[in-house]
């Protein structure tokens, strides 16, 4: 499954470590929420980078104390009709100030890319190779946005106000 | 009318090109039907019994003549020459070909209409009072706020994959014509003691298999806070609404299971953390939206012009005028309702030729504006009273002047088993038969206001729960049966109707309705006691007795 990061297909530096597998001392790992919370104190002192895969039915508040020590938070779309992780992503970015990698996993199709970017995701485990390859073109599809989110894109309402101000200034 | 600007136009064109790509990927097999399903639904495309059905939004029920002509064009070019107006200010086309859909959408986008989010598990078309901006006594035009919500809910990055569909309705009048109490979020605009505009917010109303009347979650939300408060509700729902069972996924079930107090606390807690965010709306933004609504330059005209006095001798004209024209906030003008319920016709259908003719009449008599109501009728909102006789003749000629507005034959019905793959029973032929039974205008007038609603299955698209008489099609051993309720209503006193007894077979439905009406005529306290008031006073028992005594 290709990973898109920084707008391009990239190698995944993070090794997915199963709950019953031995924990490597160094190197970048991605582990489950249950395993992470079970030994969060020890894990956050590891030499390597640590990422956690967070289920979409668990409150992200539980993750907040550890956010500044995490390199990746991977949120889950069990199928693309299940949109809970969009809310989790916005909470992590906009309310809790998480600045690490926010990764979309599960059934990720190109048709969600713009929504995901707007919600704060910056890495994508994409199901289909063709969708991953289409990433750069797909995210340029929209240039107008009605809602303010934490991604910094200016909304239509505010663009109109700016236009109005510049028209007034020119008079 | 709201005028789209370059930004609004750009966005819908971008949406059309995205959908074109999605259709192309589906036709080439790159997308599976399962993947494509959600994407097409979000663009208003259902797969029905015979073909794809295409649902186009008419936000808050306002159309320009140019837009209506374009709908006629779509009906003619891509469909079979007609369209069906729904109970949520949408129009449906029943015979669209998938490969032609992107072109149909592009044709609509030219005049600023679209099909975004007219189905699927997202926020649907924002509906409002079809007389917004012209109803006497209205506090202010609710479409300003409807438009703000339309923009806010369009392609929302967080709420495009909710547990289930989500519907908003807004009213700014004492008499609720938008059925806000049976919506996921209902908004009643009013001014508080300080004279500030805000909303009573209701949540968790809805019909379907588990009907609920919406409950007040907050008595007053200031207009500045409308979007942040709505976002808080949607966020709580997105995270905690049930996704394990499609029949329990609407917000009404979450509100019911948590209780309104606990749900309100969750929302309040969420809202307090973001009410001062970028979602706060300042007055300049509201004024910007308001400035893009244009209003007609009304003339000073007499209330009783000579043309009306002269026409008063024609009983047919008078019957229509008394039934289908309504007071306007400006003296000398009237709101004219166009009945799409001709005797023997399917409720809510209009042909392309009718749509074109109505668009021309709107240009001539109504400042180029048309409205669409949830009762599946159209309205011309700004007609000078002196023009009523001439307009009536023109409307009568094209078959949309049946004087049955709000009467027993002004039936709301879903498409039913004639079109819909979900239906258990037919709706349209039941409605057609009822319009024939009550074709005599004097009889219908004697009966007075009476809303009959018909749904062909438990999903309740015909809003049978809130019909004064509600008819619900069910299937028993492969045969169509119908449950009958009385006492439902969708206005400010919204209530769910009560079942009167066992379901009756298809052939008996019209007889049963006639029996109920006869019982009412015999039992009403005065000629002006409406059916719905008589049911309230008497309960269902006398109607049950009358219907089942001989069955």
pLDDT digits (tens, 9 = 90+) for B445-492: 999 999 999 999 999 999 999 999 999 999 999 999 999 999 999 999
- Phi-psi region at A106: left, alpha or beta (left = phi > 0; alpha = psi -120 to 50): left
Residues 69-128 of B with CB under 8 A from A: 121
Query: B14, B161, B266: best mutation site toward chain A, by most A Cβ within 10 Å?
Result: B161
Q: Nearest CA to B297 among B367, B383, B387, B371?
A: B367
Strand partners, B45: B54
Percent of chain B with pLDDT over 90: 96
Determine, for residues B157 and A86 on separate chains, whether the beta-carbon distance falls below 8 Å: yes
Please tell me the predicted confidence (pLDDT) of residue A164.
80
What average pLDDT does the structure give for chain B? 96
Tokens of B216: 């007040």
Exposure string of B247-286, with b = 16+ CB inside 10 Å and e = fewer, is ebbbbbbbbbebebeebbebbeebbeebbeebbbbeeebb
Q: Which fold has domain B142-291?
A: Sulfite Reductase Hemoprotein; domain 1 (3.30.413)
Strands B378-384 vs B333-338: parallel, antiparallel or unpaired: antiparallel
Cβ atoms within 10 Å of B442's Cβ, excluding its own: 8
Query: A54, A86, A128, A151: best mutation site toward chain B, by most B Cβ within 10 Å?
Result: A86
Please tell me the predicted confidence (pLDDT) of residue A30.
96
Determine, for residues B35 and A83 on separate chains, whether the beta-carbon distance falls below 8 Å: no
Contacts of B161 in chain A (CB under 8 A): 80-83, 86
Determine, for residues A86 and B39 on separate chains, whether the beta-carbon distance falls below 8 Å: no
Q: B196-220 pLDDT, tens per residue?
A: 999 999 999 999 999 999 999 999 9
Please tell me the predicted confidence (pLDDT) of residue A171.
53
Q: Which long-range contacts (CB under 8 A, 24 or more apart) does B519-526 make?
A: B519/B543, B519/B546, B519/B547, B520/B447, B521/B446, B521/B447
Residue B17 contacts A, CB cutoff 8 Å: yes
Q: Nearest CA to B189 among B256, B237, B143?
A: B143
CA B520 vs. chain centroid, Å, equals 28
Residue B278 contacts A, CB cutoff 8 Å: yes
Q: B531-550 pLDDT, tens per residue?
A: 999 999 999 999 999 999 98
Please tell me the predicted confidence (pLDDT) of residue A169.
67
Backbone angles phi, psi at A30, to 5 degrees: -125, 120
CA B524 – CA B307 distance, rounded (Å): 38
Q: B324-349 pLDDT, tens per residue?
A: 999 999 999 999 999 999 999 999 99
CA B397 – CA B394 distance, rounded (Å): 5
pTM, 2 dp: 0.96
CA B496 – CA A115 distance, rounded (Å): 38
Instruction: Give SS3 for B427.
Output: coil
Contacts of B7 in chain A (CB under 8 A): 144, 156, 159-160
CATH of B306-397, one of 3.90.480.20, 3.30.1600.10, 3.40.50.2300, 3.30.2010.10: 3.90.480.20
The secondary structure element, H or E, covering residue B475 is strand B469-476
Q: B184-193 pLDDT, tens per residue?
A: 999 999 999 9
**All CATH 3.90.480.20 domain ranges in chain B, comma separated:** 6-109, 306-397
Tokens of B477: 């051993």
CA B85 – CA B105 distance, rounded (Å): 18
Cβ atoms of B365 and B414 within 8 Å: the answer is no
Backbone angles phi, psi at B523, to 5 degrees: -100, -15
Query: A57, A90, A107, A111: best mutation site toward chain B, by most B Cβ within 10 Å?
Result: A111
Chains A and B form CB pairs within 8 A to the count of 91
Please tell me the predicted confidence (pLDDT) of residue B1.
75
The number of C-alpha atoms within 13 Å of B100 and in the hemisphere containing its C-beta is 16
Q: B220-233 pLDDT, tens per residue?
A: 999 999 999 999 99
CATH number of B6-109: 3.90.480.20
CATH C-level class of B412-548:
alpha beta
Cβ atoms of B397 and B358 within 8 Å: the answer is no
Cβ atoms of B385 and B363 within 8 Å: the answer is no
Q: Smallest CA–CA separation between A128 and chain B, in Å?
A: 10
Residue B339's alpha-carbon distances to B327, B347, B357, B435, in angstroms, are 17, 9, 14, 12
Please tell me the predicted confidence (pLDDT) of residue B419.
87
DSSP code at position B246: G
| Closest Cβ opposite residue A141 in set B18, B39, B278 | B18
Cβ atoms of B312 and B389 within 8 Å: the answer is no
**All CATH 3.30.413.10 domain ranges in chain B, comma separated:** 142-291, 412-548
């Amino acid at each position: 499954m290709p990973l898109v990061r920084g707008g391009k297909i990239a190698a995944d530096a993070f090794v997915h470590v199963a709950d019953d597998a031995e924990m490597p001392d160094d190197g970048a790992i991605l582990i489950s929420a249950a395993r992470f919370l079970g030994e969060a104190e020890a894990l956050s002192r590891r030499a390597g980078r640590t990422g956690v895969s967070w289920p979409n039915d668990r409150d992200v508040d539980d993750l907040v104390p550890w956010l500044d020590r995490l390199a990746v938070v991977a949120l889950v779309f069990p199928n693309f009709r299940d949109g809970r992780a969009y809310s989790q992503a916005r909470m992590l970015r906009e309310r809790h100030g998480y600045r690490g990698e926010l990764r979309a996993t599960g059934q990720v199709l190109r048709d969600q890319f713009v929504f995901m970017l707007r919600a704060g995701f910056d890495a994508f485990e994409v199901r289909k190779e063709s969708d991953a390859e289409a990433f750069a073109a797909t995210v340029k599809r929209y240039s107008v946005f009605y809602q303010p989110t934490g991604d910094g894109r200016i909304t239509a309402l505010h663009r109109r106000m700016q236009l109005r101000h510049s028209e007034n200034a020119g008079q | 009318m709201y005028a789209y600007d370059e930004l609004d136009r750009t966005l819908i064109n971008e949406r059309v090109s995205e959908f074109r790509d999605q259709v192309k990927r589906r036709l080439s097999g790159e997308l599976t039907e399962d993947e494509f399903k959600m994407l097409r639904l979000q663009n208003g495309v259902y797969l029905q019994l015979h073909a794809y059905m295409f649902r186009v939004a008419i936000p808050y029920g306002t159309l320009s003549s140019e837009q209506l002509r374009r709908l006629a064009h779509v009906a003619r070019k891509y469909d079979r020459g007609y369209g069906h107006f729904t109970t949520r200010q949408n129009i449906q086309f029943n015979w669209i070909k998938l490969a032609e859909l992107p072109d149909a959408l592009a044709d609509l986008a030219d005049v600023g209409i679209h099909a975004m989010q007219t189905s699927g598990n997202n926020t649907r078309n924002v509906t409002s009072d079809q007389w917004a901006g012209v109803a006497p006594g209205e506090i202010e035009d609710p479409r300003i706020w409807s438009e703000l919500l339309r923009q806010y809910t369009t392609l929302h990055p967080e709420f495009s994959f909710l547990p289930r569909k989500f519907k908003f309705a807004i009213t700014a009048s004492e008499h609720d014509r938008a059925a806000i109490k049976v919506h996921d979020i209902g908004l009643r605009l009013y001014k508080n003691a300080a004279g500030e505009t805000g909303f009573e917010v209701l949540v968790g109303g809805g019909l379907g298999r588990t009907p609920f009347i919406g409950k007040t979650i907050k008595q007053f939300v200031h207009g500045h806070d409308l979007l942040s408060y709505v976002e808080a509700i949607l966020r709580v729902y997105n995270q905690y609404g049930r996704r394990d069972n499609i029949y329990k996924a609407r917000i009404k079930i979450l509100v019911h299971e948590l209780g309104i107090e606990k749900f309100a606390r969750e929302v309040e807690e969420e809202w307090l953390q973001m009410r001062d965010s970028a979602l706060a709306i300042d007055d300049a933004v509201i004024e910007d939206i308001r400035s893009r609504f244009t209003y007609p330059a009304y003339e000073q005209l007499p209330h009783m012009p000579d043309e009306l006095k002269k026409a008063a001798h024609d009983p047919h004209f008078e019957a229509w005028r008394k039934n289908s024209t309504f007071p306007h906030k400006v003296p000398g003008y009237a709101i004219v309702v166009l009945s799409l319920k001709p005797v023997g016709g399917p409720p809510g259908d209009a042909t392309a030729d009718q749509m074109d003719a109505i668009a021309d009449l709107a240009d001539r008599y109504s400042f180029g504006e048309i409205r669409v109501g949830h009762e599946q009728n159209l309205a011309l909102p700004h007609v000078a009273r002196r023009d009523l006789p001439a307009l009536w003749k023109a409307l009568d000629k094209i078959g949309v002047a049946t004087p049955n507005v709000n009467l027993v034959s002004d039936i709301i019905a879903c498409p039913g088993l004639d079109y819909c793959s979900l239906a258990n029973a037919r709706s349209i032929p039941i409605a057609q038969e009822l319009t024939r039974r009550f074709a005599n205008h004097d009889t219908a007038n004697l009966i007075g206001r009476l809303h009959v609603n018909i749904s062909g299955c438990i999903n309740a698209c015909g809003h049978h729960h809130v019909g004064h008489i509600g008819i619900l099609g069910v299937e028993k051993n492969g045969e169509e049966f119908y449950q009958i309720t009385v006492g439902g209503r969708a206005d400010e006193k919204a209530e769910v109707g009560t079942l009167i007894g066992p379901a009756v077979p298809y052939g008996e439905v019209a007889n049963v309705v006639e029996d109920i009406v006869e019982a009412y005529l015999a039992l009403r306290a005065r000629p002006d006691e409406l059916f719905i008031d008589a049911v309230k006073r008497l309960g269902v028992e006398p109607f049950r007795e009358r219907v089942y005594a001989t069955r």
